[in-house]
């Protein structure tokens, strides 16, 4: 029996939109907007300090958030800005991999913060004039889990088509989901946490780069209401349970243990942990589960501080920083959590 081809990350790039938002600027704007309409806002203000976010990027200026917008208006902004960011990340990823556009054999695109039909991969394909016979796989609805689960899908395509490099793209414009007339706690938390960003990678079986070894996921029963979107007349309303950190502490270890056992991976063989930083409390819980020192998820914490939670793109920002920081990262474990409620796992060997 032939040995399966080994997919590798041949390149990995990140991109952010032009508007830089400081938490110190967001807080007074949020106070002006929410306080007159939510009597509990003074009690909720601490979420801006506790979010562990200092800087974020947005495809629209802060002033955009101070007025109302229709779903069609915000969705057109999503399509235009998502396409621009993906093309930027894709061009640089292809160049970094030492390839030409004509070499790309497939495109996997992950995003859950807007609606596009034709899908974003088709828009990128047209803009960049990618080969007309490439494999296309648009992925919607994975939310924050999309960075790892989407990467696994790209790796599977690369393994199935070892002579055809796969372009893997992720973009999330979380800020555009802000709904001006939603004064709920969930919407307030979102304004303290979410940012916009994109990532691009080339996955292939010919070349150098971290080897993608194993991947898997676990979806818990009876958790559909834990995270996601509610579709409202003016846009996508964020849904996330306040119980997510405690749920992660209670349930994540068993799912992780199962993934490691099914792939015969000793936990002691993992040298570097890279996790989607869903929030400061979730990072704390993951460090306990991984049995590493408090604060050891350095890249995850740093990305949360510098970029906020960019949903599916965030773990790829953390991975890029880990690859830059650790000269010999050894075996890396990537984890994400998202709607479903689903955990994604993937190991790399650098």
Active-site positions read 144
- Residues 4 and 160: beta-carbon distance below 8 Å: no
Q: Helix/strand/coil (H, E, C) string of 204-269? A: ECCCCCCEEEEEEEEECCCCCCCEEEEEECCEEEEEECCCHHHHHHHHHHHHHHHHHHHCCCCHHH
- CB-CB contact of 225 with 115 (8 Å): no
What's the CA gap between 26 and 17, in Å, rounded?
Answer: 17
Contact 11/202 with Cβ under 8 angstroms? yes
Beta bridge partners of 132: none
Report in angstroms the alpha-carbon separations of 96 from 99, 130, 143, 202, 231: 8, 17, 27, 9, 39
What is the torsional sign of CA 50, 55, 59, 63? positive
3-class secondary structure per residue, 29-89: HHHHHHCCCCCCHHHHCHHHHHCCCCEEEECCCHHHHHCCCCHHHHHHHHHHHHHHHHHHH
Answer for the pair 309, 194: CB distance below 8 angstroms, yes or no.
Answer: yes
Bridge partners of 203, per DSSP, are 9, 166
């Amino acid at each position: 029996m032939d040995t399966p081809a080994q997919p590798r990350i041949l390149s990995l790039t990140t991109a952010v939109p032009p508007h830089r938002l400081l938490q110190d600027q967001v807080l007074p704007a949020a106070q002006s907007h929410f306080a007159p309409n939510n009597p509990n806002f003074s009690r909720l203000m601490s979420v801006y300090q506790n979010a562990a976010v200092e800087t974020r990027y947005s495809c629209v200026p802060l002033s955009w958030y101070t007025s109302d917008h229709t779903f069609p208006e915000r969705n057109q902004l999503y399509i235009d800005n998502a396409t621009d960011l993906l093309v930027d990340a894709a061009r640089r990823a292809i160049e970094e991999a030492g390839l030409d556009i004509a070499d790309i054999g497939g495109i996997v695109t992950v995003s859950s913060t807007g609606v596009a039909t034709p899908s974003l991969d088709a828009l990128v394909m047209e803009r960049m004039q990618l080969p007309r016979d490439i494999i296309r796989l648009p992925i919607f609805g994975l939310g924050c889990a999309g960075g790892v689960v989407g990467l696994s899908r790209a790796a599977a395509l690369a393994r199935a088509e070892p002579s055809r490099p796969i372009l893997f793209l992720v973009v999330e414009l979380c800020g555009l989901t802000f709904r001006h007339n939603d004064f709920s706690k969930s919407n307030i938390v979102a304004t303290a946490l979410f940012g916009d960003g994109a990532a691009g990678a080339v996955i292939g079986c010919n070349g150098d780069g971290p080897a993608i070894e194993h991947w898997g996921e676990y979806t818990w029963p009876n958790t559909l209401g834990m995270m996601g979107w509610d579709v409202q007349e003016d846009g996508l309303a964020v849904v996330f349970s306040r119980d997510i950190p405690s749920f992660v502490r209670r349930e994540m270890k068993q799912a992780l243990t199962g993934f490691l056992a099914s792939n015969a991976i000793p936990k002691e063989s993992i040298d570097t942990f890279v996790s989607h930083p869903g929030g400061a409390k979730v990072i704390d819980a993951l460090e306990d589960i991984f049995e590493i020192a408090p604060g050891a998820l350095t890249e995850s914490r740093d990305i949360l501080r510098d970029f906020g939670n960019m949903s599916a793109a965030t773990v790829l920002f953390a991975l890029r920083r880990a690859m830059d920081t650790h000269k010999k990262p050894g075996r890396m474990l990537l984890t994400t959590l998202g709607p479903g409620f689903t955990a994604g796992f993937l190991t790399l060997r650098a």
